[in-house]
Homo-oligomer: A and B are copies of this chain.
Amino acid sequence: MIPAPLLRLLIPALVQLAALFSPALRAAERPRDTRPNIVMIVADDHGLDALGCYGNPVISTPHLDALAADGTRFTHAFCTTASCSPSRSVILSGQQNHRNGMYGLQHDAHHFQSFDRVQSLPVLLGAAGYRTARIGKFHVAPESVYAFQTVLSGGAANDPATIGRSPVEMAERTREVIAAPDPRPFFLYFASDDPHRANAVLPDGKPTFDTYPQPNSFGNRPAGYPGIDPVRYRPADVRVPAFLPDTPASRAELAEYYQAVSRLDQGVGHLIALLKAAGHYDNTLILYLSDNGAAFPGAKTTLYDPGMRQPLIVRSPGRRNPGAVQSAMVSWADLTPTLLDVAGVATHRTPFDGRSFRAALDGAPVSGWDTVFASHTFHEVTLYYPMRVVRTRRHKLIVNLASELPYPFALDLIKSPTWISATLPGATHYGRRTIEKFLHRPRLELYDLARDPDEITNLADSPAHAALQADLLAKLKAFQTASHDPWFHLWTYR
């Protein structure tokens, strides 16, 4: 007879022991699993501006271009917040960050994390019998909420030595998942640190973003990375997007950024080669996307289009329409519902802020996909700047809930030579915006994206657009209510 107190202590151990064997048992009992594998590649700060298949004639991204040519390229895909941790929390939960609790960055003093009640994509897929594995940048918390069965390699945020900078090595390490003799389908979350800005390392070992007037390296280093054939760019050749100033500093930084993108592209190429070699290319749903726009002031941390409009390339098993271009407006809140739908996981009891766009994966025209919402509150915990956004095909309304404050800057962006050199005394403009308007924003911003794609002319409170503004505001408030936005009460209390 085992005494009751001892039994109570033994039960968790026995449950864990049983769990060690049960997946294999379950797999052996049932017919071969025909559900597709899922590989989600999440880049770090890769904007729509720096991809061949999205129209950049200079940058070399042959593997991503090939993926698009064999799959579907989304032209209207959006993150819901242009900050790393919150965006990844949305990608992995299907909930807006203001609902899942990840209001800002996860690391160091910022310390944001999701609620324990959140049911994440890896946990739901794991519960449905998928093998789940992640490699590279994680940057969400708590680990228990975003639990993967296998952590191939993690890494701290902004760690210069992270494997997330070495995408061919990353891909190589996924071999054990891709080539495993396990009949269960797998979900692989492949998250690079490229092409994020990189901390330089000072002689005393301390990391720093202070490189001015030298450009940030974007992780490029003289020693290179295993398996990477570096693609270098001349500053004179890069294409300067409209949101950036065209200066020697911005061109030098764009050249570094491009090189980091090309490095990542080679990692994607190696990953796809491994999938093909293992015979999994045709039964794997492959997605390529980025958490938010490029790490330049005017993109990342803003909800202007360079911050929130993102690459999304999807290659579906049995795709019927290679090279399709999909114009449905989808957001990162839709990813988890979509992937669970693809995996056949019932989700009627899981509260999502997005919905499945499975029907759109092969590029088929779909209706009812013409509005997305976005929500930013923090990046670093010291940078409070809540914004709520509704974007339709033609218009965007931004509500700046703390517009009295100057627009705050992420540490890596305020120290960027692009910003510093463009805002020296006497400067008036940053890209097409005035510096003054970039730093001091009105409570409402309304843009006609058809006439004004760079979001320069604010139509808010103009009589000609009163009805439009009221309609968008009503949509935005309904979104806030439906997504349990804690900041909704500021409409009443301010």
List residues of chain A with CB under 8 Å of any chain B CB. 5-6, 9-10, 12-14, 16-17, 20, 101, 103, 109-111, 113, 115, 380-382, 384, 402, 404-406, 408-409, 411, 414, 484, 486-487, 489-490, 493-494
Residue of B nearest to A7 (CB): B13
Known contacts A6-B17, A9-B13, A115-B111; A384 and B406 CB within 8 A of each other? no
A493 to B13, CA, bound (A): 52
Sample 9 A-B pairs with CB under 8 A, ordered by A number: A5-B17, A12-B13, A13-B13, A110-B486, A111-B115, A384-B402, A402-B405, A404-B404, A404-B405
Please determine whether A414 and B493 come into contact, CB atoms closer than 8 angstroms: yes
A406 to B490, CA, bound (A): 12
Please determine whether B490 and A382 come into contact, CB atoms closer than 8 angstroms: yes
**Which chain B positions have C-beta within 8 A of A486?**
109-110, 380-382
Residue of B nearest to A103 (CB): B381
Interface centre among A17, A382, A402, A408, by most chain B C-beta atoms within 10 angstroms, is A382
**Other than the known A10-B13, A113-B113, A382-B490, what 15 A-B pairs have Cβ atoms closer than 8 Å?**
A6-B13, A10-B10, A13-B13, A101-B111, A103-B381, A110-B486, A382-B489, A384-B384, A402-B402, A404-B404, A404-B405, A404-B406, A409-B493, A411-B489, A414-B493
A13 to B5, CA, bound (A): 10
**Which chain B positions have C-beta within 8 A of A384?**
384, 402
- Chain B nearest CB from A144 CB (Å) reads 12
Please determine whether B16 and A9 come into contact, CB atoms closer than 8 angstroms: yes
**Which chain B positions have C-beta within 8 A of A487?**
382
Please determine whether A494 and B406 come into contact, CB atoms closer than 8 angstroms: yes
A12 to B110, CA, bound (A): 32
**Which chain B positions have C-beta within 8 A of A115?**
111
Residue of B nearest to A98 (CB): B109
**Which chain B positions have C-beta within 8 A of A404?**
404-406
Please determine whether A17 and B13 come into contact, CB atoms closer than 8 angstroms: no
- Name the 6 nearest CB pairs between A and B, nearest first: A404-B404, A9-B13, A109-B486, A384-B384, A101-B111, A13-B13
A9 to B6, CA, bound (A): 14
- Chain B nearest CB from A296 CB (Å) reads 17
A20 to B4, CA, bound (A): 13
**Which chain B positions have C-beta within 8 A of A5?**
17, 20
A486 to B404, CA, bound (A): 21
Residue of B nearest to A404 (CB): B404
**Which chain B positions have C-beta within 8 A of A381?**
103, 486
**Which chain B positions have C-beta within 8 A of A13?**
6, 9-10, 12-13
**Which chain B positions have C-beta within 8 A of A109?**
101, 484, 486
Residue of B nearest to A415 (CB): B493
Residue of B nearest to A484 (CB): B109
**Which chain B positions have C-beta within 8 A of A17?**
5-6, 9
A316 to B244, CA, bound (A): 66
A381 to B101, CA, bound (A): 10
- Chain B nearest CB from A262 CB (Å) reads 32
- Chain B nearest CB from A485 CB (Å) reads 9
A195 to B489, CA, bound (A): 26
**Which chain B positions have C-beta within 8 A of A103?**
381
A16 to B12, CA, bound (A): 12
- Chain B nearest CB from A243 CB (Å) reads 21
**Which chain B positions have C-beta within 8 A of A493?**
408-409, 414
